Structure 1
């Protein structure tokens, strides 16, 4: 019998709620989140449980981690997994949401946008540099630049769309600034 499986993410910046609900539905069937995987999640088979999931975006220093996770624990949330600045928690159904007010929702979107801003700047910069190299050179360097541009373009467009989604969510929730 298979004890682990992979499921795709809908895209946290666009459909965070849908992803968290998908993880809840899988937990109801006995599939529990184990860790983040590329563009999705790894689940492991276990007992069925009725839990809800929530994600927080926060950069933590090594000495801050235990206090951070302990704070969520006091509120009834259990840390499930982390990847870079993303941390997923679970709690019994009916627990007080992690983001229950406008201010905390705004802070969450600001933290997400900040980390995305760095990625977008990197990808846009590499696309511009490789495009310039591709148009200003010839021969072998131009061919390498063409490949570099195509690869950077593949990452640049989704990064920009994800960054824009954070601003859409801020606007939709009425949490501008």
Structure 2
């Protein structure tokens, strides 16, 4: 199942996963640009996402905290963890301050990626200016060397901005 991008459509994705579970397609794992679902018996489930860096040796303790609240771990990828529960289970995030913290966690991680990609972009622009000055023969090569980090930088920057907007909405 494709994702609209968690920074942009987290709630929509979680609702879509719930609807798919009712049809017998249960979330199994994250996949590139979305999720992998497995055929199962139809279930009434709600899904929720948490952003948290958790060292592998502490992952079970982290999951136990959610299990105590009725949430079952479904899948984790990096600092993203999706949990499922029966409808009516108390939400993982119940107040604005915890929601803000959730998005700050996500924004912090993507912010590091933005800074890294920006630095790589600057370095590659400078390197190509030094090694390929006024070169018409290698113009296409230079173009792609310069564009490669930008291809990743632009979506990362948009994701960072989306988290910033979510934080702003929660605060005010």
Taking the aligned partners of 2:34 and 2:122, their CA distance within structure 1 comes to 29
The match for 1:147 among 144, 149, 154 is 144
Look up the match of 2:94: 100
2:24 equivalent to 1:30: yes
The match for 1:162 among 159, 164, 169 is 159
2:90 equivalent to 1:63: no
Look up the match of 1:109: 103
Taking the aligned partners of 1:35 and 1:145, their CA distance within structure 2 comes to 38
In the TM superposition, 1:129-144 aligns within 5 A as: 129-138=123-132, 144=141
Look up the match of 2:45: 51
Taking the aligned partners of 1:83 and 1:109, their CA distance within structure 2 comes to 16
Taking the aligned partners of 1:30 and 1:20, their CA distance within structure 2 comes to 15
Taking the aligned partners of 1:154 and 1:34, their CA distance within structure 2 comes to 29
Secondary structure of the 1:103 match is: helix
Look up the match of 1:77: 71
Q: CA deviation at 1:150?
A: 1.5
Gaps of 5+ in 2: none
Secondary structure of the 1:8 match is: coil
Q: How does the TM-score come out when normalised to structure 1?
A: 0.90
Gaps of 5+ in 1: 1-6
Secondary structure of the 2:171 match is: coil
CA RMSD of aligned residues (A): 1.6
Q: How does the TM-score come out when normalised to structure 2?
A: 0.92
Moved more, 124-133 or 20-29: 124-133
Distance change in 2, residues 1:84/1:141 (3 Å): farther
Q: CA deviation at 1:145?
A: 4.4
Secondary structure of the 2:90 match is: coil
